[in-house]
Amino acid sequence: MADLDISPEILGQLIPLSALNSGNLKSLLAKAIMLKPRKGEVVFSPGSDDGRALFLLAGKLTLSSKGRNDRVIEAGTPEADHPIDPDLPHQWQARAATDCEILSVDAKTMDIMLTWDQEAGSYEVVEVDDEFSDDHDWMMRMLSNQAFFEVPPANIHAVFTRMEPVKVRAGEVVIRQGQPGDYFYAIQEGRCSVVRETPRDPNGIKLAELGPGDSFGEEALLSDAPRNATVTMLADGELMRLAKADFDSLLKAPAMESLTLDEARSRIAAGARWLDVRLPGEFAKARIKGAVNIPLFFLRKKAAALDPGVPYVVYCDSGRRSTAGAYLLKERGFEAYVLTGGLAAATGRAAG
């Protein structure tokens, strides 16, 4: 964060970065980039998607899109407190109207951090990582895995606290094809190869090479089938492993029912209600008409104020926070669903 030279005052204005606790904000900013486009330079174009959330810290940008009026965003204004054209792929072209400074952060990691903070009682990633290593890049990569998106953050916290470190040597076979599954693994340090034997190639076909943050071994645990490949270390390192019983109880999360936009609208027409679990600043910027806003971190306390006889269709930007919100409601006896694709899929960020 110091390398980026962003004042706490400016960071405190950026939504939703201002909602992150100090440890998770530091982790997010450690991988952030400062872009400095010159006047006239195109920052992004319609249809582009690099997975980044951009915040204008200095200068002016012009946003243009076919069939829409141009917009100008100036640093320091309320509009600049939010990510620039947050829907990915981008809907607008952004061009620097002056020399600019733009903070670029990984959008997926930011959303994971928000979910982690708000639903799981403000757990810091570094809080559990300090037990293992000063370098928690592997945790960030692991949390970016699609398999974790629908797992309640409280479960993820328990996963990391129950994982045990295992030192490994180059050439060591970690799992062998045909053996029963006993552990789920994540690579903290080192690299390994994944090889599958076939009748035509008994020496094995190399399927992948994995590094820090990558995980393996879940297929056999999920299917209760023998291992379908052999994983061998290519270098000395350290793995984190989770026993099958913990994997079953923590990562085989209760199935959440998702609804398409049409299905959700049918539920709403039949008496269900929209529930927006994003931050108030995000809700004020764009929302679905008629939605109730209860930020995820307040939902535990305010769920009692909701009508238990009414189904709720929960949404956020991406589906991560809404999945956690629906999980919390289901725990408390509510009928809850998750809107597939979040706000962008529903309204293109316009009320409706």
User: Do 141 and 99 lie in a common domain?
Assistant: no
Could you tell me if residue 29 is inside a domain?
Answer: yes
Using pLDDT thresholds of 50, 70 and 90, give the confidence band for residue 130: very low
Would you call 349 helix, strand, or coil by DSSP?
A: coil
pLDDT score at 129:
45
Average pLDDT over residues 277-294: 93
User: Do 48 and 94 lie in a common domain?
Assistant: yes
For residues 80-105, b (16+ Cβ closer than 10 Å) or e, as one string? bbbbbbbbbebbbbbbbbeebbbbbb
User: Do 117 and 236 lie in a common domain?
Assistant: yes
User: Do 22 and 103 lie in a common domain?
Assistant: yes
Q: How many other C-beta atoms are found inside a 10 Å radius of the C-beta of residue 116?
A: 24
Structural domain range at position 148: 110-250
User: Do 88 and 46 lie in a common domain?
Assistant: yes
pLDDT score at 272:
97
User: Do 40 and 130 lie in a common domain?
Assistant: no
| CATH code for the domain of 61 | 2.60.120.10
Provide the residue count of the chain. Answer: 352
Could you tell me if residue 142 is inside a domain?
Answer: yes
pLDDT exceeds cutoff 70 at 244? yes
pLDDT score at 136:
58
What percent of the chain shows pLDDT beyond 70?
Answer: 85
pLDDT score at 223:
62
The dihedral sign for the CA sequence 129, 131, 133, 139: negative
User: Do 99 and 117 lie in a common domain?
Assistant: no
pLDDT score at 128:
46
| CATH code for the domain of 330 | 3.40.250.10
User: Do 338 and 245 lie in a common domain?
Assistant: no
Is residue 33 within 8 A of residue 82, CB to CB? The reply is no
DSSP calls for 19-48: GS-HHHHHHHHTT-EEE-PPTT-EEE-TT-
Please give the tally of structural domains in the chain. 3
Q: What's phi and psi for 47, nearest 5 deg? A: 90, -10
pLDDT score at 157:
74
Average pLDDT over residues 161-172: 94
The least confident of 9-23, 38-52, 274-288 is 9-23
pLDDT exceeds cutoff 90 at 252? no
pLDDT score at 350:
39
pLDDT score at 149:
61
User: Do 115 and 100 lie in a common domain?
Assistant: no
pLDDT exceeds cutoff 60 at 181? yes
pLDDT tens-place string over residues 198-221: 777 778 888 889 998 888 887 777
User: Rounded distance, CA 68 to CA 350, Å?
Assistant: 14
Could you tell me if residue 276 is inside a domain?
Answer: yes
Could you tell me if residue 352 is inside a domain?
Answer: no
pLDDT score at 132:
41
pLDDT exceeds cutoff 50 at 131? no
Q: What angle do CA 222, 228, 229 make, to 5 degrees?
A: 125
pLDDT exceeds cutoff 70 at 253? no
User: Do 114 and 100 lie in a common domain?
Assistant: no
pLDDT score at 122:
46
pLDDT tens-place string over residues 303-345: 889 999 999 999 998 887 888 788 778 878 899 999 998 888 7
- The pTM of the full predicted model, rounded to 2 decimals, is 0.66
pLDDT exceeds cutoff 50 at 243? yes
| Residue where a domain stops, chosen among 220, 250, 280 | 250
Higher pLDDT, 349 or 14: 14
Q: What is the mean pLDDT of the chain?
A: 85
| Residue where a domain stops, chosen among 250, 280, 313 | 250
Q: Please report, for residues 21, 110, 337, the alpha-carbon distance to residue 113 in angstroms, rounded to integers and kept in the order given.
A: 9, 5, 22
Average pLDDT over residues 177-202: 89
pLDDT score at 119:
58
pLDDT score at 230:
93
pLDDT exceeds cutoff 50 at 280? yes
The least confident of 30-44, 107-121, 192-206 is 107-121
